[in-house]
Copies of this chain bind each other. A is one copy, B any other.
Amino acid sequence: MTRVRMAVIALGAYLIGALSGTVTQGQGDKWYPSRWGAADQRGAANRLTPAKVLDARSMITAGKVYQLGRTYEAGMPLYGTRHYSLKVPYAFAMPGKNQANYHDDIISGELTQIGTQFDGLGHLGIGELFYNGNRKSDFATPDGLKKLGIENVGAIVTRGVLIDVAKYKGVPRLQSPYAISVADLTGALQREKVEIHPGDVVLIHTGWGSLWMKDNATFNANSPGIGVPAGEWLASKEVVVVGSDNWGVEAFPNPDPNLTAPVHQLLLAKNGIYLHENLATEELARDGVYEFAYIFAPLKFKGATGSPGNPIAIR
Contact = CB atoms under 8 A, between A and B. Distances in A.
Contact of A15 (B16, B72, B262): B16
A270 B110 CA distance: 35
Given A19-B20, A65-B157, A155-B65, A72 B311 contact: no
Nearest to A103: B305
A112 interface: yes
Interface in A91-135: 91-92, 94-113, 122-127
A21 B98 CA distance: 10
A150 to B, nearest CB: 9
A90 B140 contact: yes
Contacts of A70: 300
B305 A299 contact: no
Contact of A103 (B25, B103, B123): B123
Name the residue among A111, A124, A304 with the largest chain B CB count within 10 angstroms: A111
A91 B142 contact: yes
A60 interface: yes
Interface string A51-72: 1111001001011110101111
Name the residue among A20, A80, A91, A142 with the largest chain B CB count within 10 angstroms: A142
A304 B107 CA distance: 9
A103 B53 CA distance: 31
A19 B73 CA distance: 31
Contacts of A145: 88
A303 interface: yes
Interface string A137-164: 0001111110000010011010000000
Contacts of A63: 49-54, 57
Contact of A142 (B50, B87, B151): B87
A107 B111 contact: yes
A144 B86 contact: yes
Interface in A1-16: 4, 7-8, 11-12, 15-16
A90 B142 contact: yes
A206 interface: no
Instruction: Name the 3 nearest CB pairs between A and B, nearest first.
Output: A50-B63, A53-B63, A89-B142
25 contacts: A8-B8, A24-B98, A50-B64, A53-B65, A54-B60, A65-B155, A67-B300, A70-B300, A73-B301, A73-B302, A73-B303, A87-B106, A88-B140, A88-B141, A89-B90, A89-B106, A89-B143, A92-B142, A96-B261, A98-B265, A100-B262, A103-B123, A107-B108, A299-B308, A299-B309
